Amino acid sequence: MKNRIEYILFISFSLFFRAMGLYLSRRFAVIIAIIFFFIIPIRKTVTVNNIKKAFPHLDSKKVKKIAFRSYKSFAITLAEIMLLPSMTRESMMKLLKCTNLELISKKFEEGNGVILLSAHFGNWEYGANSVSLQANKKFTIIVKNLRNPLVSEWMNKMRTKWLNEVVSLGVSVRQIYNDLKEKNIVAMIADQRGPEDSIKLEFFGRKTSVLVGPAVLSLKTGAPLVFGIAVRQKDYSYKMNIVEISKDDLPDENNDKIEELSRRHLYYLESVIRENPEQWLWMHNRWKH
């Protein structure tokens, strides 16, 4: 019953935002950010502490400014996601300008599959849909199911509205492996912390556990690691620069290869976050262990 009530509320909000359209929905999202940052704070302490750890040189005022803008960015992302049912293929393709898009096709044609890495930054859902349409390639998107299965099902329908398919994280590692062996493109978000017993690498100058799955899959299958993040612009369009995470000059030992490849991924992730820190989802306790 709880899931159904939550789902009805979720759909009601989606219909509300769709009735307002993108422009007004983005404006209304600011009100949502104000509510959940100032009035009914949710994960505010975690967010502020994370930003302090990442930017220890900033004073409290600047830290809180980034924190609020992060809430605002996330609220805009949620509003945009809720408008997905009314979006057309053409509008989805036009809202994101992708630099170096041909790299995906080039790596795909090499016949080893492709691993496309992104982050909870800007609008990651728009990014996956728009880039797959522009490249005219199906992505197998690795997703973590939401607590509410009805909302999760709605999200997956939006993710597969055009070319893409989804695979639940942890449900079928074998399927992900097979997709790469069959020369497909696998897309995943890989910016959160790894398990406590995972390798520890520096991220913003602090040691933290790392998700090594992308590096392990890349080394086992030969699939190249490609990195791209949808960065929101002032006019609410998006830009993404596609880059390859080099596997040149890796150490000889496999564990050292995994560590070095993961370190190179973190370098790109940190670089993008430093340029636009307000667009990353700081609510996750990234330095818990």
The answer to pTM > 0.85 is: yes
Domain that holds residue 64: 1-86
Question: Is pLDDT of 173 > 90?
Answer: no
**Structure tokens that stand for 274 in this block:** 């430093």
* Same domain membership, residue 105 and residue 78: no
pLDDT score, position 181: 79
- What mean pLDDT comes out for the span 227-256? 97
Residues 6+ apart with CB under 8 A from 128: 118, 139, 141, 159, 164, 187
Residue 289 within a domain: no
Q: Is residue 198 part of a domain?
A: yes
Assess whether 246 and 174 both reside in one domain.
yes
Same-domain pairing of 70 and 99: no
Of the residues 86, 119, 148, the one at which a domain ends = 86
CA–CA separation, 160 and 176 (whole Å): 17
In a domain, 2, yes or no: yes
Check whether residue 109 and residue 252 sit in a common domain: yes
Domain-embedded: residue 139:
yes
Q: How confident is the model at residue 176 (pLDDT cuts 50, 70, 90)?
A: confident
How far are the Cα atoms of 26, 42, 173, 228, 276 from residue 280, in angstroms, in the given order? 17, 16, 27, 14, 8
Mean pLDDT of 31-50: 97
Q: Which two tokens stand for residue 67?
A: 């924190």
Nearest to 118 by CA among 136, 107, 104: 104
Question: What is the average per-residue pLDDT within 254-281?
Answer: 98
Q: Give the confidence band of 288 by pLDDT, cuts at 50, 70, 90.
A: confident
Residue 109 and residue 78 share a domain = no
Report pLDDT for 14: 94
For the cut 80, the answer to whether the pLDDT of residue 219 exceeds it is yes
pLDDT above 90 (res 251): yes
* Chain segment 74-113, per-residue pLDDT in tens: 999 999 999 999 999 999 999 999 999 999 999 999 989 9
Question: With pLDDT > 70 as the criterion, what percentage of the chain qualifies?
Answer: 99
Both 75 and 188 in a single domain? no
How many angstroms separate the CA atoms of 155 and 152, rounded? 5
The tokens describing 59, both together, are 């004073």
Query: Has residue 171 got a pLDDT over 70?
Result: no
Among 168, 161, 169, 167, residue whose Cα is nearest residue 130: 161
Q: Evaluate whether residue 3 is within a structural domain.
A: yes
The total number of residues shown for the chain amounts to 289
| Domain total of the chain | 2
Residue 57 structure tokens: 């040189």
Residue 288 lies in a domain: no
Two structure tokens written together for 90: 């053409």
30, 52, 86 — which closes off a domain? Answer: 86
Please indicate, yes or no, whether residues 76 and 199 belong to a single structural domain of this protein. Answer: no
The mean pLDDT value for 117-129 works out to 98
| Residue 65 in domain | yes
- The residue out of 53, 86, 119 marking a domain boundary is 86
- 166 and 241, same domain (yes or no): yes
Average pLDDT value for residue range 142-165: 95
- Whether residue 72 is found in the same domain as residue 164: no
pLDDT at 17: 94
Is 69 in the same domain as 109? no
Residue 225 pLDDT level (bands cut at 50, 70, 90): very high
Task: Provide the pairing of β-strand 225-227 with 243-245.
Answer: antiparallel
> Is 49 within a domain?
yes
Banded model confidence at residue 246, pLDDT cuts 50, 70, 90: very high
- The pLDDT, as a whole number, for residue 172 is 65
68 and 141 inside one domain: no
170 and 70 in a common domain: no
Helix axes 173-181, 213-221, angle to 10 degrees: 40
